[in-house]
Amino acid sequence: MFYNLREDIDKLNYATTISKMIYDVTEENIPAVDILQLFLNTLYVIAETDKNIELVFCVFRIRLLAILGFLPQISKCVSCGEPMLEEMEEFYFSIKDDGVKCKVCQKLDKSVIKLSKTTFSALIYILSCDSKKLFSFEIPKEDLQELELFCKIYTLQHLEKEYEVVKF
């Protein structure tokens, strides 16, 4: 299975890091069907497609945390309840309070990460789409960098561990 992983050192490194994360968040003899399905889907996409591997890693992390019960509030400001609107150009995500904040409330929060409309839409998609369509989207490079930064901090916040991929 997933023979292609052995032929590409980057793919192998990502697969190894993903396996480590799965190992850390699961326990023996406790059923974890959703996690297993996500794990296999992710390995498949890495092994069998040319999809941007950093994007795949981001999608995997956000979805894994969601399955584990970490669902950020993204429809309204976590502090004052103001709804987030589609026409907004940028969004502020509070790592401390695990959700979005409006323009006013974000000023008082040092843990806020600014996200573009595209990055924010990607986040909503990853959290809510059907598992079969999880990897069926693309994102421009600058937004991917933003999403990667978000994922890194968000994962560290919830799993209290950094998962770095060795790159050659």
Summarize as ranges the residues that interact with Zn ion (CB under 5 A).
77, 79-80, 82, 102, 105
With respect to Zn ion, which residue has the nearer C-beta, 92 or 135?
A: 92
**Considering just the CA atoms, what is the radius of gyration of the chain in Å?**
16
With respect to Zn ion, which residue has the nearer C-beta, 68 or 74?
A: 74
Q: How far is the CB of 100 from Zn ion (least distance, A)?
A: 9
Q: How far is the CB of 103 from Zn ion (least distance, A)?
A: 8
Question: Phi/psi class of residue 2: alpha, beta or left (left: φ > 0; alpha: ψ in -120 to 50)?
Answer: left
With respect to Zn ion, which residue has the nearer C-beta, 64 or 102?
A: 102
With respect to Zn ion, which residue has the nearer C-beta, 12 or 74?
A: 74
CA distance 34 to 24: 15
- On whether the CB atoms of residues 95 and 115 are closer than 8 A, the answer is no
Q: How far is the CB of 114 from Zn ion (least distance, A)?
A: 15
Q: How far is the CB of 118 from Zn ion (least distance, A)?
A: 22
- On whether the CB atoms of residues 167 and 10 are closer than 8 A, the answer is yes
How many Cβ atoms sit within 10 Å of the Cβ of residue 86? Answer: 8
- On whether the CB atoms of residues 51 and 135 are closer than 8 A, the answer is yes
